[in-house]
A and B are shown apart, each in its own frame.
Chain A
Amino acid sequence: MNILVCISKVPDTTTKIRFLSDASGLDTNGVTWIVNPSDEWYALVRALELKEAAGAGKVTIITVGGAEDEPIIRKALAVGADEAVRIDAPAYDAAFVAKQIAAWVKENPVDFILTGKETIDYNGSVMGGMLAAHLDVPYIALVEKLEKSGNTTQMHRDIGGGTEEVEVEGVFVASATKGLAEQRIPNMRGIMAARTKPIHVKTPADAQPGVKFKNYSLPPEKGACKMIDPDNMDELVRLLNQEAKVL
């Protein structure tokens, strides 16, 4: 079983977000980078479980990004991926990333592809669908369960307030969400092994982004929190009705 997992680099969840003075992008000074949680915890771990269950195969991780992404690539290799591909270009937007990964897959066929449900920096949830469209394979978003039997794959996908059970034949792209697997903490052996696993660096294909992010800002400060006496819930109800107008 030959599985491709798309991983992306994001600021650690607790990072204090600051922007460049011209608001054109994130001030990366002092930012700790991690593998996007749903890529690492759900997509990668489920791929590893399936390979282990099959007793054979390969899990390749792929990322579009510069040389500064290597630490997070090593992290994903330490979790257990066999090898890595880095397409050496800035990840301008999901459309650009999808075209890069599609170009690689066309040269290096895989059995199926997993992505995370969304990156926690841009929260777009779009790369996997675009990749599937370029490869002309089915796309199943927000998958919380995935089983393989031969060429058939059974999945459960989240449909907002419910679950849908679906089945596909052959190659597909699925985005992984909570429930698909449990996070694995890399052990010492994994970390040591990751040091010598191959990272193949590829030159990017010709592609254009579709959008450009600009004018970053912090949300307006919340006004001070109004404190209400716990014995006066009538007052809270009055405020919710008359001031907040949500009742």
Chain B
Amino acid sequence: MATIVFVDSFKGHIKKSAFESLTYAKKAQPGQELIALVAGDVPQNELEALGQYGASKVWHANGPAYKDFDSEIQGKTLAKAAEKANANLVVLPFDHTGKSIAPIVAVALGAGLVSGATSLPDTSNGFAVKVNVFSGKALAEVEVLTETKVITVNPNSIPVEKDERTAQVESFDPGLNISPRVHVKAVHKNTDEIPLPEAERVVSAGRGLKGPENWGLVEDLAKTLDAATACSRPVSDIGWRPHHEHVGQTGITIRPNLYIAAGISGAIQHLAGVNGSKTIVVINTDPEAPFFKAADYGVVGDAFEVLPKLNDALRKFKEASV
């Protein structure tokens, strides 16, 4: 038996999600062989370093078929690797990559799939994993009914653990005999900064900010915090901010360690995208704003005054702690 982890990379570099997935896999089945599958061009030192996160072996599939992302090629490669390793558990990140590949792996292996795990498997009575349901308004346990299991792990659900080992790297050829059917024409990054779904800290603002010209306050604070920026739906609908910053039920779901919301009322559809955040700070002029009920720390005040003051306090703190 073995555990296999899909290691995602972007433009030749391994992504942070891989470290979380490896830590998850190591703890899910301790003592079992843990194989990291990497598909595509990634430098040798990054492959070896996967040992630090628990991989005992790294299988590297490389070649023209992996130049562009095609969920079918990646999914079938992972399924072949799982078969070769005799893996009973396959772990991927619950992000755009995992969402693209995991269903294909699950079908190929005839495995049950748990999407968006927030806990390690509980094997005391079968095999059950906790997930968020009803847009974060509730939790449930998912029991997997099949021998082989596929799990995608919710971002920021498990703190990454690291030690000094290096992994043995082998090349892996799944022998697929198929070529990609999805042709990638271009890739655009929204910013060079941290992508919102991966960010550990997020500063977000809503209609209370009055207009796009005031977002400097949000960006300045985000910069001090090394945070990404986000917004409520009306703000992206009116075009004050780009669509990819819209969080909530109809936008993206995030689970940062720190979410700071200024001038956002806290409607249920907004909360659906952010209520998995570890710590929530709400800044609002209205003491009755519903968001305070979901917050850990609240400041009743004008965002135009509070944001700069918070920024100053943080800068002072940063200077004092170096």
Q: Enumerate chain A interface residues (CB-CB to B < 8 A).
A: 11, 13-14, 17, 19, 26, 37-38, 41, 94-95, 98, 120-130, 132-134, 138-142, 154, 157-169, 175, 178-179, 208-219, 222-223, 225-231, 233-234, 236-237, 239-241, 244, 246-247
4 further A-B pairs in the complex, CB-CB below 8 A; given A154-B185, A218-B139, A233-B313? A95-B106, A140-B100, A142-B96, A165-B184
Residues of B within 8 A of A166 (CB): 182-185
Stretch from B18-26, B30-38, B83-91, B293-301 forming part of the interface with A: B293-301
What are 24 A-B interface contacts by the 8 Å CB criterion?
A19-B138, A37-B250, A121-B133, A124-B113, A129-B102, A129-B103, A129-B104, A130-B104, A141-B99, A141-B100, A161-B189, A163-B190, A164-B186, A166-B185, A167-B182, A211-B112, A215-B140, A218-B137, A219-B136, A225-B297, A233-B299, A236-B313, A237-B313, A240-B279
Q: Enumerate chain B interface residues (CB-CB to A < 8 A).
A: 69-72, 75, 95-97, 99-104, 106-108, 111-116, 128, 131-146, 181-191, 194-198, 201, 243-244, 246, 249-251, 253, 257-258, 268-269, 272, 275, 278-279, 281-282, 292-302, 305-306, 309-310, 312-314, 316-317
- Inter-chain CA distance A17–B255, complex, in Å, is 21
**When the two chains form their complex, are residues B189 and A126 in contact, meaning their CB atoms are under 8 A apart?**
no
Q: Could you tell me the distance in whole angstroms from the C-beta of A205 to the nearest C-beta in chain B? A: 15
**Which 5 pairs of residues, A with B, have the shortest CB-CB distance?**
A161-B195, A129-B103, A230-B301, A210-B112, A133-B107
**When the two chains form their complex, are residues A212 and B250 in contact, meaning their CB atoms are under 8 A apart?**
no
**When the two chains form their complex, are residues A126 and B70 in contact, meaning their CB atoms are under 8 A apart?**
no
Q: A226-B296, A233-B313 are in contact. Are A94 and B133 (CB under 8 A)?
A: no
Report whether over half of chain B's contact residues are helix, strand or loop; otherwise say mixed: mixed
Residues of B within 8 A of A217 (CB): 138-140
Q: Could you tell me the distance in whole angstroms from the C-beta of B172 to the nearest C-beta in chain A? A: 21
Residues of B within 8 A of A124 (CB): 113, 115-116
Residues of B within 8 A of A134 (CB): 107
Residues of A within 8 A of B251 (CB): 178
Residues of A within 8 A of B306 (CB): 230, 233
In chain B, what residue has the closest Cβ to A141?
Answer: B100
**When the two chains form their complex, are residues B297 and A233 in contact, meaning their CB atoms are under 8 A apart?**
no
Report whether over half of chain A's contact residues are helix, strand or loop; otherwise say mixed: mixed
Q: A160-B197, A227-B298, A244-B279 are in contact. Are A214 and B112 (CB under 8 A)?
A: no
Q: Could you tell me the distance in whole angstroms from the C-beta of B177 to the nearest C-beta in chain A? A: 14
Q: A129-B71, A160-B195, A236-B310 are in contact. Are A228 and B299 (CB under 8 A)?
A: yes
Residues of A within 8 A of B294 (CB): 222
Residues of A within 8 A of B317 (CB): 234, 237, 241, 247
In chain A, what residue has the closest Cβ to B189?
Answer: A162
Q: Could you tell me the distance in whole angstroms from the C-beta of B55 to the nearest C-beta in chain A? A: 23
Residues of B within 8 A of A11 (CB): 134
Q: Could you tell me the distance in whole angstroms from the C-beta of B135 to the nearest C-beta in chain A? A: 5
In chain A, what residue has the closest Cβ to B146?
Answer: A210
- Inter-chain CA distance A172–B112, complex, in Å, is 23
Q: Could you tell me the distance in whole angstroms from the C-beta of B317 to the nearest C-beta in chain A? A: 5
**When the two chains form their complex, are residues A236 and B72 in contact, meaning their CB atoms are under 8 A apart?**
no
- Inter-chain CA distance A186–B213, complex, in Å, is 36
Q: Tell me which of B182, B189, B279, B300 has the highest count of chain A C-beta atoms within 10 A of its own C-beta.
A: B182
| The residue from B139, B186, B198, B250 contacting A219, defined by CB atoms under 8 A apart | B139
Q: Could you tell me the distance in whole angstroms from the C-beta of A14 to the nearest C-beta in chain B? A: 6
Q: Tell me which of B106, B197, B294 has the highest count of chain A C-beta atoms within 10 A of its own C-beta.
A: B106
Residues of B within 8 A of A233 (CB): 299, 306, 309-310, 312-313
Residues of B within 8 A of A222 (CB): 293-296
Residues of B within 8 A of A236 (CB): 281, 297, 299, 310, 313
Residues of B within 8 A of A211 (CB): 112-114, 142-145
- Inter-chain CA distance A229–B309, complex, in Å, is 11
**When the two chains form their complex, are residues B112 and A215 in contact, meaning their CB atoms are under 8 A apart?**
no
**When the two chains form their complex, are residues B103 and A123 in contact, meaning their CB atoms are under 8 A apart?**
no
**When the two chains form their complex, are residues B135 and A162 in contact, meaning their CB atoms are under 8 A apart?**
no
Residues of A within 8 A of B201 (CB): 246
**When the two chains form their complex, are residues A225 and B292 in contact, meaning their CB atoms are under 8 A apart?**
yes
- Inter-chain CA distance A237–B111, complex, in Å, is 46
Residues of B within 8 A of A239 (CB): 297
Q: A138-B72, A139-B100, A210-B146 are in contact. Are A130 and B186 (CB under 8 A)?
A: no
In chain B, what residue has the closest Cβ to A221?
Answer: B293
| The residue from A127, A129, A218 contacting B138, defined by CB atoms under 8 A apart | A218
In chain B, what residue has the closest Cβ to A169?
Answer: B181
**When the two chains form their complex, are residues A17 and B103 in contact, meaning their CB atoms are under 8 A apart?**
no
**When the two chains form their complex, are residues A212 and B143 in contact, meaning their CB atoms are under 8 A apart?**
yes
Q: Could you tell me the distance in whole angstroms from the C-beta of A34 to the nearest C-beta in chain B? A: 12
Q: Could you tell me the distance in whole angstroms from the C-beta of A178 to the nearest C-beta in chain B? A: 6
**When the two chains form their complex, are residues A225 and B257 in contact, meaning their CB atoms are under 8 A apart?**
no
In chain A, what residue has the closest Cβ to B257?
Answer: A246
In chain B, what residue has the closest Cβ to A37?
Answer: B250
